[in-house]
Amino acid sequence: MRIGMVCYASHGGSGIVATELGASLATRGHEVHFITNDVPVRLNRYRENLFFHRVEVDTYPVFPYTPYSLNLAAKLLEVIHTHGLDVLHAHYAVPHATSAYLAKEMHRPEEVRTVTTLHGTDITLVGVKPSFYEITKFSIERSDRVTAVSDWLREKTYESFGREKDIEVIPNFVDSEQFRPFPGTKERAPFAAEGEFVLMHASNFRPVKNVETVIRVFERLRARYPVKLLMVGDGPRLLPAEEMVRSAGLAESVHFLGAQEYLEDILPLADLFLLPSEHESFGLAALEAMSAGVGVVVTDVGGTREIVRHGENGFLHAPDDVDGMVETIAGLLEDSSRLARVEEAARRTAVEKYGLDEAVDRYLKVYEDALG
Ligand code: GMT
């Protein structure tokens, strides 16, 4: 099959899902063409059957804003013509599903199929805005197949956009060989002394990630225990977070590592992963942490409830429940055997329920169905 993958290239769950899926499809012998504004973050080595096409973004003095969706649609059409794509898979509805629809219509609609995967904020924060609502609804309804990464997101989409279109849930997945527990003692000398407990947060530092709560929880724990905090990622709330850390006098205990390409090398160093987002349609970073054998404390708003069973393979708290998070983590600090049981269960969940191969099989089935 010849598949065009349309995604965001920067750090963010939807681009990661697209890249891991595309790489696996290429390994299985499918021809996969990434069509984006830049090489996706995890597309970091040569693989047979994988191709990249850069969307050129043109500006012109009369344009108040750059019409990226049009440049993308034109590029998609060019790649369809040159490489005879069977399927365009748009990750993140806005504006990818719209550009894919346009490219298909400009070509011959019966010759190419479009699949849209809804990832979360494309529905919950962006798609529902009045300025995007109608075009998002239209583009979802005109996709040949639509998938969502959790039951929660499917319901949110139905609530906001109606039930015109069937949505299949294909949960996010993880390569549990790539994300695995650190063998032996965790080597984290540059960040933490022996015996210190390491808390980690990784995200794109958007407001929805609620990074201020990570710092508040850490500050309370720091007053009682020898703990360090590693903050991984970059985004709009990074500078305010650094400022918050400085003014709380925590600069020596908190390390900011910036955006990291090889999260699989960093996640296993943590004792606990904290993701108190305002909502998370799935929470891929938490799943990757679980696969790395790390316990997670995550928001209870969103698809995270479908993955984490409180007290068993991780912990769920409301995004503003600082007291609850502090008490959960303090309990684990004082009971390392409980933490070990949770870590084991977390790894087991990732391996047994969120495998890469099963997810790739399911996406392939969606493409095959769409092609009839
Ligand atoms: O908010 C982000 O982290 C970015 C966003 C994206 O699309 O890149 O993430 C969403 O998609 C991920 C992959 O499907 C999900 O695991 C995240 O939960 C989701 N983010 C939110 O719902 C806030």
For the chain, 372 residues long, give each residue's pLDDT as a single digit of tens.
999 999 999 878 999 999 999 999 999 999 999 999 999 988 988 999 999 999 999 899 999 999 999 999 999 999 999 999 999 999 999 999 999 999 999 999 899 999 999 999 999 999 999 999 999 999 999 999 999 999 999 999 999 999 999 999 999 999 999 999 988 777 887 888 888 999 999 999 999 999 999 999 999 999 999 999 999 999 999 999 999 999 999 999 999 999 998 999 999 999 999 999 999 999 999 999 999 999 999 999 999 999 999 999 999 999 999 999 999 999 999 999 999 999 999 999 999 999 999 999 999 999 999 999
Side-chain-side CA neighbours of residue 156 (13 Å):
26
Ramachandran assignment for 234, one of left (phi > 0), alpha (psi -120 to 50 degrees), beta (any other)? beta
Between the two ends of the chain, the Cα-to-Cα distance in Å is 13
3-class SS of residue 289: helix
Residue 120 CA to ligand 1 centre (angstroms): 5
DSSP single-letter state for residue 320: T
Residue 62 CA to ligand 1 centre (angstroms): 34
Q: Check residue 362 and give its pLDDT.
A: 98
- Please indicate whether residue 237, judged by its CB atom, sits closer than 6 Å to ligand 1: no
DSSP single-letter state for residue 312: T
Query: CA 78, CA 239: separation in Å to the nearest integer?
Result: 40
DSSP single-letter state for residue 20: H
Residue 119 CA to ligand 1 centre (angstroms): 6
DSSP single-letter state for residue 18: H
Strands 295-299 and 272-275: parallel
Q: Distance of CA 200 to CAs 123, 255, 266, Å? A: 28, 10, 9
Q: Check residue 320 and give its pLDDT.
A: 97
Give, using CA atoms, the residue closest to atom 7 of ligand 1.
14
- Please indicate whether residue 12, judged by its CB atom, sits closer than 6 Å to ligand 1: yes
Strands 2-6 and 31-36: parallel
C-beta separation of 201 from 229 below 8 A: yes
- Please indicate whether residue 204, judged by its CB atom, sits closer than 6 Å to ligand 1: yes
Q: How would you class 297 by CB atoms within 10 Å of its CB: exposed for 0-12, middle for 13-18, buried for 19 or more?
A: buried
Looking up tokens 């992963």 gives 273
Query: CA 335, CA 331: separation in Å to the nearest integer?
Result: 6
SS3 content of the chain, % helix, strand, coil (to 5): 45, 20, 35
- Please indicate whether residue 139, judged by its CB atom, sits closer than 6 Å to ligand 1: no
Measured from the Cβ of residue 183, the count of other Cβ atoms closer than 10 Å reads 7
Side-chain-side CA neighbours of residue 365 (13 Å):
10
Looking up tokens 């087991």 gives 348
Domain ranges of the chain: 2-173+355-371, 186-353
As separate numbers, helices (DSSP H) first and strands (DSSP E) second, the chain gives 13, 13
CATH number of 2-173+355-371: 3.40.50.2000
- Which ligand 1 atom sits nearest the alpha carbon of residue 172? 14
Same fold, 2-173+355-371 and 186-353: yes
- The partner residues of 301 in beta bridges, in order of sequence, read none
92 alpha-carbon distance from chain centroid = 11
Query: CA 276, CA 112: separation in Å to the nearest integer?
Result: 40
H/E stretch holding 244: helix 238-247
Q: Check residue 132 and give its pLDDT.
A: 97
- Please indicate whether residue 282, judged by its CB atom, sits closer than 6 Å to ligand 1: yes
- Which ligand 1 atom sits nearest the alpha carbon of residue 281? 22
Q: Check residue 189 and give its pLDDT.
A: 77
C-beta separation of 209 from 203 below 8 A: yes
Q: Distance of CA 129 to CAs 71, 159, 288, Å? A: 23, 14, 30
- Please indicate whether residue 280, judged by its CB atom, sits closer than 6 Å to ligand 1: yes
- Please indicate whether residue 283, judged by its CB atom, sits closer than 6 Å to ligand 1: yes
Q: What is the fold, at CATH topology level, of the domain defined by 186-353?
A: Rossmann fold (3.40.50)
